[in-house]
Amino acid sequence: MVKNARIKLEEVVRSHMDSANDDDVRLVVSVAGLLACVAYSDRQYTPSERQKVRSELERIHGLSNEGIEGICKILDERIFDLTATSSQIYLRDLSELADYETKIDVLDVLMSLAAADESVSVVETNLLRRAATALGLSSDDYNTIQRRYRDKLAVLQKG
């Protein structure tokens, strides 16, 4: 089941991205998979997170509206399956395929998604720190991005 969800995600991306090569498909699948991992890291997929995922997918050049709808549908129906396996698969592909600027942009998007519900939980923070390390980004890179969302960090919010 878990592998089938990732394969379905790949099929949707491949069929709804104009002239995408295999690396482009892997990159988009990795970003979508990581969006799912962050959104569901607290075992809730809230309406604000759904909207943020959609708006970030709209930024992907060459991905059609039907592709965005297809990815969102898979996340709605199969987010548990997409996130049950390690996020390391998505991170490995992203690390291999993306340049430094893209990795920074993706980490920022993931942090923004974690903050979409007004609170970045400890679970989300830990996942994002591991993601930054897996992508070969420095602590300074991570801290610079996190600083923009400081007011959303659950550990710093007043009870």
- φ, ψ of residue 98 in degrees (nearest 5): -100, 150
- Residues spanned by the domain of 18: 2-156
Determine which of 40-49, 77-86, 120-129, 146-155 has the lowest per-residue pLDDT on average: 146-155
Predicted TM-score (pTM) of this structure: 0.92
Predicted confidence (pLDDT) per residue in 15-50, tens digit = 999 888 999 999 999 999 999 999 999 898 999 999
Exposure on the CB side of residue 145, measured as CA atoms within 13 A: 25
CB 21 within 8 A of CB 95: no
CATH of the domain at 84: 1.10.3680.10
Mean of the per-residue pLDDT values for the chain?
Answer: 92
Question: Within its chain, how far is the Cα of 21 from the centroid?
Answer: 20
Per the structure, the count of domains in the chain is: 1
* Rounded distance between C-alpha atoms, residue 153 and residue 136, angstroms: 23
Return the pLDDT at 1: 52
